[in-house]
Amino acid sequence: MSTTKPPHIVLLPSTLPSTDLKIITLPHPRTLVPTRYLVHPTQGLHEITKLAAPASIPRSWLLTPSEPSSPPKWLGNGQILQDGSMYICTPMDPLFVLLPRLFPADAADAINRFLPMEDLFEEITKEEEEGDWGLVVGSQVTEKRLAAVCESVDVGDERAYKPSREKLMRVLDGKCVRMAKGGLPATMEEEFVQKPLTRPMAEIMAEETERKKGAESVKELEVRSIKKQEDNDGERGGSDGEAAAEGAGALFTPPDSQAARPRLAEASQEVTDLLRIRVASEFISNNYLSISIAEVLSDRLQKSHDFTPLDSYLSELIKSRQEATAMRSDDFTLKRSYQDEEGIVDRKRKKKEAEEAEKKKKSVSRATKELQKADTRGMAKMTTYFTRKAA
């Protein structure tokens, strides 16, 4: 019986070489749970995400060689994989896996002195019993990213580094802004940006109704003006003509437009961009940052970006939705009240009909009552006396 493990389907970036790849285990930056990552000496760290079909919809893979004349030894003439899952590798900033060690929650464990890069790597990985840190720190990408969040000084012929929270916040802030400007994934855009900024349908319909009423009013005034001009054609002087022109100019202001209730406008581009930044920061914080660093990033964003327009718009949107909900509730109450009133009227009508029928029964004469009590069994009916006799 063969003990060879079945292969896995892994989707790699087109820019990632297929050689010198290693799968390593590192603590997850958010949960510290041992997690698999893909690393390359020059391309850096890659996150591995598993995509699996629902259990109710089974999937499988059919693998065939691209060159039938010389198929790979492990593939043979082809294979069918029962497991229909797929692994996707996406580039990941190695800085994230280093942050819990560079900026620990306990300030007493923080690195407060300048160290050469090699000594700094040794300092943040020396107490780790688990984790393939050697391949991470040996990557060229890791060294560049580490330098981006550290202060540096020249010590003799080499450069020394010390972690800086201020530089870290600038890097994370920039990540959030770039993620928002670059465009969020379609599912995130719809769920966390478009839906929260969607106005209630009642608000949109009321606005459309007001617009139609205004257009109808303008059209009606225009028709009246044309009729008036036809009736007075040739009889008006210059002053009348000027008055007519002024009246025509005033036609485009629908009546009661000033008294109309102000409606909530569509979200501006500024409000939408601010919400995207907030969504990006929450995504990064919930997936790649420890709780302590995520809290500092949230405070930093509040200071570096003015979220007042977004908060004001969301507050007005909540009020508008509450009003729309209240209107629907009132409509239901009125409808229920109307149905109750109809039921009461129907019961009263039936009661009146029953009373009238009872009165009719009571108003029957005494002779009729006595006749109803008489025993008519065996007696001929009255109609028998009026039938024709046989010839």
Question: What are the structural domains of the chain?
Answer: 10-63+74-163 (2.20.25.530)
Element (H, E) at 49: strand 44-51
Q: Output the pLDDT for position 107.
A: 74
Query: What interhelical angle do 95-102 and 140-148 show, nearest 10?
Result: 50
Q: Is 170 helix (H, G, I), strand (E, B) or coil?
A: helix
Q: What angle do CA 141, 33, 183 make, to 5 degrees?
A: 55
252 close to 218: Cβ distance less than 8 angstroms: yes
What is the residue type of 249? G
Give 173's contacts (C-beta < 8 A, 6+ positions apart). Answer: 297, 300, 301, 304
Type and span of the H or E element at 246: helix 238-250
- Predicted confidence at residue 389, as pLDDT, reads 61
To which H or E segment does residue 17 belong?
none
Name every residue whose Cβ is closer than 8 Å to that of residue 218 and which is 6 or more positions away in sequence.
Answer: 251, 252, 254
DSSP-based three-state secondary structure for 272: helix
Q: How many whole angstroms separate alpha carbon 197 and alpha carbon 265? A: 11
Within 8 A by CB and 6+ apart from 10, the residues are: 48, 86, 87, 88, 89
| Mean pLDDT per 10-residue section of the chain, whose length is 391 residues | 71 84 89 90 89 82 76 74 86 90 80 85 68 75 87 85 92 94 90 85 52 57 64 56 47 43 73 94 93 92 93 88 68 54 71 80 65 68 65 52
The b-or-e profile of 72-93 (16+ CB within 10 A means b, else e) is: eeeeeeeeeeeeeebbebebbb
| pLDDT score recorded for residue 67 | 73
* Distance (Å, whole) CA 136 – CA 143: 9
Which of 222, 227, 273, 285 has its CA nearest to residue 249?
222
At residue 50, φ and ψ (nearest 5 deg) are -95, 130
How far is 104 from 176, CA to CA, in rounded Å? 22
Record the pTM. Answer: 0.64
Question: Using CA of residue 62, residue 68, residue 72, residue 76, what is the dihedral sign?
Answer: positive
